[in-house]
Amino acid sequence: MRRLFDWLDARVGFRGGRSVMLDEPLPPGTGWFFTLGSVLLALLAIQILTGAFLTLYYAATPDHAYDSVRFIAEQVTAGRLVRGLHHYGASFLIVVLALHLLRVVLFGSYRPPREVTWLSGIALLLLVLGFALTGYLLPWDQRAYWATVVSINIGRLAPAGGEFVASVLRGGATVGALTLTRWYALHVVFLPALLVLLVVLHLLLMRRQGISGPVRTRPGDPYPFFPRQAARDTAVILLVTVALGAFAWHGAPALEAPADPTDATYIPRPEWYFLGLFQLLKYFPARAEVFGAVTLPTIGLLLLAALPWIDRGRSRAPKDRPIVMAAIVVGALAVVSLTALGWRDRPGSGSPTAWPVRAIGGRQVVLRANCTKCHAEGDVADPLEATAITRSAEWIGGHVSDPEMIAPGLREPPTLRSDREIAAMVSYVRQLARGPYPGFPPQAEQTAGIIARYCIGCHKFDGDGGTDGPDLTHAGRKHDADWFRRWITSPKNVDPKAEMPAFGKRVAPADIDALAQYLVARR
Amino acid sequence: MSQPVDPAPGRRQILAAFVTAVTAGIGASLAAILGAFALKPSRAAASECWVHAGTLDDLTANVPVPHVVSVPRVDGWYRERARQMVFLVWDGNQQVTALSATCSHLGCQVAWNGETKQFKCPCHGGVYDVSGRVVSGPPPRPLESVAAQVRGGNVLVKL
Ligand code: FES
């Protein structure tokens, strides 16, 4: 073995390489604060590895992206874990990056001659945010799609060339197939290439100048990186990796419904690291939005980049640099509190497993229309839960009202009467694609069917429904069951000016009773 | 800078062992996870399933009737439906047998000839009898038989 290594070393010189890698002299007093860079390297390596492996199964087309991500999460061995590592790895990376940046600022490590190292670090920060942005779209669910629409619209705000930038980012006229392939290419080819270049540059510069070390030079001799500092790095890396593994063990957050560009009712929610920016936007009136979304962050970034030229004192100790320290504390507080406020205000996501009333009602429609006669395992069409409902509601509406178009020769076209029934059916099938029907008491199903058919066109329930009538999400807070019964049977008898039609003749009294009970229970 | 100094040799060895062990541990876990991820795409093995092929009402006793069956094929995240032709032969009672319509020679689709009561392949003239045995021509094997069952008037075949 030894002779083999000797032979190899004589040709490759790996022992010299090893000593170059590991014997870097460090100033005395280099401590735990200086481990963050290595942690970042480790996290980057994990992102690159898991990302590379995820591409084995991912398909970047609107028709299949969602299905392929779901396949990874549900079918592939360890798929949930790998996706979880990649998902939470991004968040870890951003947190550690922020800490690293803070450490550099606190220690004044950007001081000459390390300005270029500092600038390359700022570029890396932007690059990592670019990865986060482009990666977010790839699962192609509602969350991904609408967050991307918002980001691109923010880009459009930029005064000069905003529209141009947005159209380049979009690829096509709207966020769609061309956007997806474009962002995928950025995420897996262009940005990684840039990342490797910048990381190498950052490290070479770091090695060339040596690390800055503690703010005040300590007495003593420099010591080599290996093994003392390397052990510190390793300990922190171990800690971070175990934490990341614990997050990933539970898997990345479940996918939402597949992206539906026609569903304008969806409320976009950005990933947490963009919440601050999102929150900032809320404080600016429409005309000044540019200022909040583009100008302010740009100024902040430029100031940060210019730090080595702004802060030119002799001492690196924080107490000798009060202005920079104050600015950084204010800046960090602003980012943290904006993010926290954004977190508190973020639109509710609704539990992905909760079944909206329309979807429950849709089951009644599906049963009545005999959909499962053909949509069954081993039959002429895929079972409903397996049909990829990546198509628009219009397409599905067309399919259910004229299946001849889709399956020529179908002998029994389902008889669907109204758009509302179609909408309920679509809602049911979409929900089914996310998880099996949990089952509800027959009376609840019956009531949901009535709501899906008669009420939801004008009234909203949990954010889904029409706006002609009042929102009934919390209907039970206002009236009692008897009032509802009388009102639904004949609104004019309760209030002569009522505009709602009477349902006493269309809905059986027992069902109106049940409906009244249901509404009262909504508090 | 002067030559960097090292910690005491004993301590040095412990630290070095720690670094090596942790690095190897993290590397090995990642390799195991990613290896399993790459090598075992799906836990669910692709399997044959019973597919609806027609109803008893469509069949005539002892006459092979061609039916196009739409077979769901799951290929990872991709679902598609293959169309496959089978001949269903009803014995007039409750028994149905099914034959693949794919010629065992080079894979053309055979047709039933009601007069000669034989299957004939249009490509190279292979001929089979009603139970799928080769009568003449190049086919090396009989027509493949397909498992079939009748359930409540519906004919199911296993494809
Ligand atoms: S393919 Fe049928 S005889 Fe050749």
Given A210, A227, A379, which is nearest B16 (Cβ)? A227
On whether both B87 and B151 belong to a single domain, the answer is: yes
On whether both B96 and B32 belong to a single domain, the answer is: no
Q: How far is CA A423 from the centre of its chain?
A: 27
Mean pLDDT of A374-391: 67
Gyration radius from chain A CA atoms: 29
CATH code: domain of residue B107: 2.102.10.10
- Contacts of residue B41 in chain A, CB cutoff 8 Å? 57, 75-77
- Helical residues (DSSP H) of A435-494, grouped into ranges: 442-450, 481-489, 491-494
* Banded pLDDT at A372 (limits 50, 70, 90): confident
Residues of chain A with pLDDT > 70, as a percent, come to 90
Cβ-contact A366, A428 below 8 angstroms: yes
Domain range for B141 is 48-158
User: What is the CATH T-level fold of the domain A2-344, as seen in this structure?
Assistant: Cytochrome Bc1 Complex; Chain C (1.20.810)
Residue B28: per-residue pLDDT? 96
Mean pLDDT of A107-122: 92
Report pTM: 0.77
Strands (DSSP E) contained in A272-323 are none
* Banded pLDDT at A151 (limits 50, 70, 90): confident
On whether both B36 and B54 belong to a single domain, the answer is: no
Q: Is residue B13 part of a domain?
A: yes
Structure tokens at B133: 């045995």
Residue-averaged pLDDT of chain A: 85
Q: Is residue B1 part of a domain?
A: no
Residue A392: per-residue pLDDT? 61
Residue B20: per-residue pLDDT? 92
Residue-averaged pLDDT of chain B: 84
Residues of chain B with pLDDT > 70, as a percent, come to 92
Cβ-contact B79, A382 below 8 angstroms: yes
**Res. B48: pLDDT tops 90:** no
On whether both B53 and B106 belong to a single domain, the answer is: yes
**Res. B2: pLDDT tops 50:** no
**Res. A410: pLDDT tops 90:** no
Task: Judge: A378–B6 Cβ closer than 8 Å, yes or no.
Answer: no
Residues of chain A with pLDDT > 90, as a percent, come to 31
**Res. A350: pLDDT tops 90:** no
Given A70, A77, A221, which is nearest B4 (Cβ)? A221
CA B111 – ligand 1 centroid, Å = 11
- Cα angle A158, A164, A170 (rounded to 5 degrees) comes to 105
Q: Is residue B33 part of a domain?
A: yes
On whether both B35 and B61 belong to a single domain, the answer is: no
Residue A239: per-residue pLDDT? 96
Where do the domains of chain A lie?
2-344, 354-465, 474-523
- State the total domains in chain B: 2
Number of other residues whose CB lies within 10 A of the CB of residue A296: 16
Q: Is residue B128 part of a domain?
A: yes
Q: Is A307 helix (H, G, I), strand (E, B) or coil?
A: helix
Q: ω before A496 within 30° of 0 (cis)?
A: no
Mutate to test the interface with A, among B14, B34, B154, B157 (most CBs of A within 10 A): B34
What's the CA gap between A43 and A86, in Å, rounded? 10
Mean pLDDT of A99-109: 92
Task: Judge: A71–B23 Cβ closer than 8 Å, yes or no.
Answer: no
pLDDT digits (tens, 9 = 90+) for A276-334: 888 888 888 877 888 888 888 889 999 999 999 988 888 888 888 888 899 889 989 99
CA distance A78 to chain B (A): 5
Mean pLDDT of A75-91: 94
* Banded pLDDT at A415 (limits 50, 70, 90): low
Q: Is the CB of B157 inside 8 Å of chain A's CB atoms?
A: no
Mean pLDDT of A71-81: 90
- Cα angle A5, A6, A12 (rounded to 5 degrees) comes to 80
Mean pLDDT of A18-47: 88
Residue A380: per-residue pLDDT? 65
**Res. A435: pLDDT tops 80:** no
On whether both B80 and B30 belong to a single domain, the answer is: no
- How much is the ipTM here? 0.74
**Res. B1: pLDDT tops 50:** no
Residue A420: per-residue pLDDT? 80
* Banded pLDDT at A122 (limits 50, 70, 90): very high
Task: Judge: A377–B52 Cβ closer than 8 Å, yes or no.
Answer: no
